[in-house]
Structure 1
Amino acid sequence: MVNANPALNTWQRLYRITSGISAAVALVLGILGSLLTSDGGIRPAHAGFAMLFVVTSLLASLAALRYAKLSGNKGGIGHAFGVFGLSLVQYALGEMHVTMVHIILGVLIVLGALSLFVLAMRQPASAPDSAAPQA
């Protein structure tokens, strides 16, 4: 069902794109993180992608918030902001070199980012019932 509201469609598209980029960056982070034990030179790339993940998860959260306000479908807001909040904790753990907790939380964040992307792809663009035209 295609909605006639172009703003709703735009925010839904942004929500899907930013959550997809966030999930892809999380996967790259996981791969780079698993290579850190064999090659210490990967650490700067891992740190750079971590900063990129914080930004993309923030953008996905903001897009989810705006999309939810326009559509009335609030299912992804908590999930998106949860991934963003955990990304901040994860970044801090990495800077403090709390390795074991960082690894475990990293695996959970990758799963959370992937599930956010799946959730964003499943949500239909629909206007709230109160905004539907009356017959």
Structure 2
Amino acid sequence: MNYWLVKSEPFKYSWDDFVNQGTGVWDGVRNFQARNNLKAMKVDDLVLFYHSNEGMEVVGIAKIVKEAYQDPTTDDKNWVVVDLVPVEKLPKTVTLKQMKADERLKDLSLIKQSRLSVAHIKPEEFDIILGLAHE
């Protein structure tokens, strides 16, 4: 299993919007590295859902239910989407400030490549963030 982090601006598509929708199509990605990460996602991989710009915090866990396929928002064959479903809202959000302050997360892609909207994270980073959410 692999672990990922996806970012969304809550005023455009929030965790609550995602939960209400039930299954989300992660579309509109127009960065090649983020696209390659989408292509690497497999069914049942777990994903941290991060609110960017407003809140700047991990708010929930999602799961991949459909692997990469053509992005329906464009005819350009370079772009793909995945489908994901919500698994659980975190009991406590984990802020970017908290993650930056935790030495164990110094190599976290969210910190190293802050503009990347779809990022791979290490299993131990996933576990650390979940631990922070349960403190």
Q: Which has the higher contact order (CA 8 A, sep 6+)?
A: 1
Higher helix share: 1
**TM superposition score normalised by structure 2:** 0.23
Higher strand share: 2
**TM superposition score normalised by structure 1:** 0.23
